[in-house]
Chain A
Amino acid sequence: MEYRLKVDDTIIPVEVKKAETNTMTLSFDGKARNVQYSRISDNQIHLIIDGVGTQAFIAGDGDEKTVILRGVPYEVRDADLSRQTRRGKRGPSAMPREVTPPTPSIVVRILVAEGDRVNKGDAVIVVTAMKMETTLTAPFDGTVTKINVVEGDKVMPGQILADIEKDEEEPTEEQDGLADS
């Protein structure tokens, strides 16, 4: 049985050569590793890999599991399963396309009204999570067509808090295939 696993950003092909009760031989790039294991609980597995013992703590399902090894978390996915569900990179480096909170939050201030013109980067809505305020900004130049929340609402990532209709785009050098889809 073969897996193509994605650990964070690295693809790791693994072949399961032999699997018996509580023991397994796996091959990484031709290098065989002998693993004895015992499931301690739903979230805890004891491993003896080539004679060396360690513990793995796991949560999640087949799409994505978090594995913690000696304090360090690894996000592991089945690259073949998750190709179509793969999400964009998280974090401030990723340019948001929509006005949506990065974590479950509460709306504290709405800074625009329907019909307002906004420029890319303008503050639109302020949310708070765990006492930290985050300002959500306009992802592009456009017009606010609808505000979907009121102050005090609990909101989730992916929920669109304000609809912004993008300005008719002048043909520019910038490739922008995803924005209007």
Chain B
Amino acid sequence: MSYDINTNAKFSDRGQGMFKKILVANRGEIARRIMNTCREMGIKTVALYSDADRDAVHVLEADQALCLGDAEPAASYLNIDKIIAAARETGADAIHPGYGFLAENADFAERCEQEGLVFIGPPSRVISELGDKTIARQTMTKSGVPVIPGMNHPESDPEVLVREADAIGYPVLIKAAAGGGGKGMRVVASADELHDACISASSEAAGAFGNGSIYLEKYLTRPRHIEFQILADSHGNVVHLLERECSIQRRHQKIIEETPSPAMTPELRKKMGDAAIAAAQASGYVNAGTVEFLLDEDGSFYFLEVNTRLQVEHPITEMTTGIDIVRCQLEIAAGNPLSIDQKDIKGRGHAIECRIYAEDPGNDFFPSPGKIVFMKEPSGPGIRNDCGIYSGFQVPVEYDPILSKLIVAAENREEAVHRMIEALREYVILGVRTPIPFLIDVLRSEAFRKGETFTDFIGCHFPDWKPERADVETAAIAYIIDELAGKKERPVADNRGGGYGSPWQTLGNWRP
């Protein structure tokens, strides 16, 4: 098998070469997480930011930071010309796209290739072929990987979509051909809802990916979402880093992920892992990627899509395998061969991730932008928080509502669940609403404890969730004490604005 590795030529020629400076074309927690590994490897980092993000965490921690201008994504984080110019200006040799924004944009990867910049991800041709979910379906069918019944071509004509939906049989799922992260996805139960749902899905897809193409798939009502992390180098080596189960979703977006899957057996893992590697090989994959499957109740599994990027939920795999996936991405992009064999990859214990969004779980997970008034992160053995906020940070309305990802690992699933519940109880975020109380209740539920995790989990077990407020008296006591026991010394005139007084006001009787 041959690979198109022109982009990496200058590094593979050098053998063990490594980048000197990486530009991270993303924001928030993921930009910060990528830069952490860069720093460990002695690589300089460049952050980019929009007008809304001047004070975002990724800007604060980068060696260099460049402003892209207007907060509107098209003018900033999706603006290829500005990003390439920033890489030129700062002398970066590679660009890491993170997830979302341009991470799965083949034009961007191609532009990097043309400009002699290394795109940390697969070659543009692979992104383009897999990024179009319908072409990916064709590729997988040809190499014997099972796919969900549905369309193999995108379509915009509502008449044709209605005919296709009739042929597939309702319920159908509208998906963005360029999609990911649940954007542009709609479940449609009957023909009369199809037209409006297609228009709204297409508009949302166009906004999120710059491409409004959609297609239809049969909607499986009660599957599990199981995915395999893969690593493929430019020398033809491919391994998988075991599975992740991401069945707990709201609005088709994952909110709790775990590894290993409670549904997995060694035999099924072998079969699905082999299929994931076959999928990677069939597409000529290079770099880190994720092969997503749906596992039906009868034990059959179907290829869903390949995510040609670092996944939001990659940390749980890192926790159980001990492998830094971002480091692997950089090594692969620099042309170095994988240093691990499949037989070396062992998962130890159990890891869970909870996504902490700015949203109101008691109001249909509606977005809740605002200012983080106060924050306290949990800590302790086996706890990791990939966090994109801090006390005082204004959460912008323009971008994805993810605030942080809380990850725990423990010896087994039961201990990991307890550890996560306690970590969530310790995690304080004031100023915006978060799903923390909801996540606690999900993890405490019998269905979750028993591993009965299917993609309809929330609709099935928590349709009209409200927090259980067991301790109203303590809340009342806290209110009264907050009223009566004055805040720390602070000028009276300034007690609403959240600012702090100057030392001349607050130091009291202090004398030098």
Residues of chain A touching chain B, judged by Cβ–Cβ distance below 8 Å, are: 3, 5, 7-8, 10, 12, 14, 16, 19, 22, 24, 26, 28, 33, 35, 37, 39, 41-45, 47, 49, 54, 56-59, 61-62, 65-74, 76, 78, 90-92, 102-106, 108-109, 128-133, 135, 152, 154
A19 and B484 contact, CB distance less than 8 A: yes
The 8 closest A-B CB pairs, nearest first, are A56-B478, A74-B475, A43-B374, A130-B401, A59-B430, A130-B367, A71-B425, A7-B472
How far is it, in angstroms, between the C-alpha of A109 and the C-alpha of B427 when the chains are bound?
38
A76 and B367 contact, CB distance less than 8 A: no
Give chain B residues whose Cβ lies under 8 Å from the Cβ of A54.
474
Which residue on A lies nearest to B477, using beta carbons? Answer: A35
B482 and A41 contact, CB distance less than 8 A: no
Give chain A residues whose Cβ lies under 8 Å from the Cβ of B59.
none
Q: How far apart are B264's CB and chain A's nearest CB, in angstroms?
A: 30
What does DSSP make chain A's interface, helix, strand, loop or mixed? strand
Given A73-B467, A130-B358, check contact A91 B428 (CB 8 Å).
no
Give chain B residues whose Cβ lies under 8 Å from the Cβ of A152.
72
- Given A5-B479, A102-B366, 4 additional A-B pairs, CB 8 A: A14-B480, A67-B479, A70-B425, A72-B468
Which residue on A lies nearest to B371, using beta carbons? Answer: A59
Give chain A residues whose Cβ lies under 8 Å from the Cβ of B474.
47, 49, 54, 56, 69
Of A7, A26, A59, A106, the residue contacting B373 (CB under 8 A) is A59
Give chain A residues whose Cβ lies under 8 Å from the Cβ of B366.
102-103, 132
B397 and A129 contact, CB distance less than 8 A: yes
Q: Which of B360-385 contact A (CB under 8 A)?
A: 362-364, 366-370, 373-374, 376
What does DSSP make chain B's interface, helix, strand, loop or mixed? mixed
Q: How far apart are A100's CB and chain B's nearest CB, in angstroms?
A: 14
Question: Number of residues in B with C-beta < 8 Å to the partner?
Answer: 60
B481 and A106 contact, CB distance less than 8 A: no
How far is it, in angstroms, between the C-alpha of A16 and the C-alpha of B207 when the chains are bound?
55
Give chain A residues whose Cβ lies under 8 Å from the Cβ of B482.
45, 56, 58, 65, 67
Which residue on A lies nearest to B398, using beta carbons? Answer: A106
Give chain A residues whose Cβ lies under 8 Å from the Cβ of B370.
104
A58 and B478 contact, CB distance less than 8 A: yes
A14 and B203 contact, CB distance less than 8 A: no
A130 and B400 contact, CB distance less than 8 A: yes
How far is it, in angstroms, between the C-alpha of A165 and the C-alpha of B468 when the chains are bound?
41
Q: How far apart are B502's CB and chain A's nearest CB, in angstroms?
A: 17
Which residue on B lies nearest to A19, using beta carbons? Answer: B484
B437 and A59 contact, CB distance less than 8 A: no
Which residue on B lies nearest to A29, using beta carbons? Answer: B473
Q: Mark B378-404, 1 if CB is under 8 A from A, else 0.
A: 000000000000000000011111000
Give chain B residues whose Cβ lies under 8 Å from the Cβ of A16.
480, 484
A129 and B367 contact, CB distance less than 8 A: yes
Q: List 12 A-B contacts (CB under 8 A).
A: A24-B480, A37-B485, A41-B488, A71-B426, A71-B436, A72-B470, A73-B467, A78-B479, A91-B362, A102-B366, A130-B359, A131-B399
Given A7-B472, A74-B469, A133-B204, check contact A57 B376 (CB 8 Å).
yes
Give chain A residues whose Cβ lies under 8 Å from the Cβ of B200.
133, 135
Q: Which of B326-382 contact A (CB under 8 A)?
A: 358-359, 362-364, 366-370, 373-374, 376
B483 and A62 contact, CB distance less than 8 A: yes
Give chain B residues whose Cβ lies under 8 Å from the Cβ of A105.
397
Which residue on B lies nearest to A132, using beta carbons? Answer: B367
Of B364, B430, B475, the residue contacting A92 (CB under 8 A) is B364
Of A5, A22, A33, A130, the residue contacting B397 (CB under 8 A) is A130
Q: Mark B392-433, 1 if CB is under 8 A from A, else 0.
A: 000001111100000000000000000000001111101101
B207 and A131 contact, CB distance less than 8 A: yes
Give chain B residues whose Cβ lies under 8 Å from the Cβ of A90.
363
Given A37-B485, A71-B437, A133-B200, check contact A103 B480 (CB 8 Å).
no
A42 and B487 contact, CB distance less than 8 A: yes
Give chain B residues whose Cβ lies under 8 Å from the Cβ of A70.
425, 471
Q: How far apart are A64's CB and chain B's nearest CB, in angstroms?
A: 10
Given A26-B477, A33-B473, A67-B478, check contact A131 B400 (CB 8 Å).
yes
How far is it, in angstroms, between the C-alpha of A70 and the C-alpha of B468 when the chains are bound?
12
Give chain B residues whose Cβ lies under 8 Å from the Cβ of A154.
397
Which residue on B lies nearest to A64, using beta carbons? Answer: B479
How far is it, in angstroms, between the C-alpha of A44 and the C-alpha of B398 when the chains are bound?
30
Residue B511 interfacial (CB < 8 Å): no
B430 and A43 contact, CB distance less than 8 A: yes
How far is it, in angstroms, between the C-alpha of A109 and the C-alpha of B468 when the chains are bound?
38
How far is it, in angstroms, between the C-alpha of A66 and the C-alpha of B467 when the chains are bound?
14
Given A57-B376, A130-B397, A133-B200, check contact A76 B476 (CB 8 Å).
yes
